Structure formats: structure tokens, C-alpha cells
Amino acid sequence: MEKAEVVELLNQDLSGEIEAILVYMRNAIVSGDEACKAARELEEIALDEMRHAEWLSELIVELGGRPSMTHRELDFGGDSPKDFVRRVVELEKEAIAQYREHISAIDIPEVRERLEHILREEEWHLEEFEEMLEDM
């Protein structure tokens, strides 16, 4: 796979991370005291997603590309904290599927290793959000 193709895949991953950051932070803020535990967890995981965005951006630059700061139209998931958590479960599942696909397509060991690390964290996020949803 050419470096430009890898950069394109990494920019897709970066776009997903940016979307997650924005959705998680907004939903944490509007959840407020109504769902304090959920709000704290959303904020904490948003910080993980920010770190993922940084790692992806660094890889993109190392490969000679430019990080894209685009994202899809934001869908926050509804009006209640439970709706918000349902939405972030969807986002995590999408991210996991995309990372798995990109890991299998990319043949640069350092890039694969970093994506595998991000994937493990996304899988952990999904578990956390699914448990939270059950508790709600």
C-alpha cells in the first residue's frame, strides 16, 4: 500500500476521533448533574480520544501527509444521558470495525502497532459504555 493510501486511511480514523471528541464533550456538558457519573466518564474517554487524534496526526505527518480536521455531521444521540450513552456505544462500535479494517489493510509495522493500541483502548471504551448503559 502506498504511503498516500495509508495517510488517507489514517485521516479517516482521525475524522472519527474528532467526531467522538466533540460528541463526548458536548454530551458530558449537557448531562450535567443529572448524570454525573456518565458525564465524568464521557469527559475521561474524550481525553483518550484526544490522545488518539494526536497519535494519528503524528503518524500522518511522519508519512508526509497533512492531518485533516474534517468530520461528519454530528449526531449527539438524543436528549437524555441514556440517549447520549447509546450514541457513544454506536460510535465506539464503528471505530472498532474501522480500526480492524485499517489494521488488516496497512502493511507498515509501526502504523499497525499504533492502530492496534488504539483499537484495544476503543474496545475498553465500548465495554465501559455498555456497562454504563446497563446501569442506567
Whether residue 12 is contained in a domain is answered as yes
Task: Return the pLDDT at 12.
Answer: 97
How much of the chain is in helix, strand and coil states, percent to nearest 5? 80, 0, 20
Please count the structural domains in the chain.
1
Task: Return the pLDDT at 34.
Answer: 57
- Per the structure block, which three cell numbers stand in for 77? 444521540
Task: Return the pLDDT at 54.
Answer: 97
Whether residue 112 is contained in a domain is answered as yes
The answer to whether residues 110 and 12 touch, using CB atoms and an 8 Å cutoff, is: no
- Per the structure block, which three cell numbers stand in for 65? 501527509
- Helix, strand, or coil (residue 65): coil
Residue 20's domain is classified under what CATH number? 1.20.1260.10
Whether residue 74 is contained in a domain is answered as no
Range of the domain at 36: 3-69+79-135
Task: Return the pLDDT at 131.
Answer: 92
- Average pLDDT along the chain, 136 residues, taken 10 residues at a time: 94 96 90 72 92 97 95 87 90 97 96 98 95 87
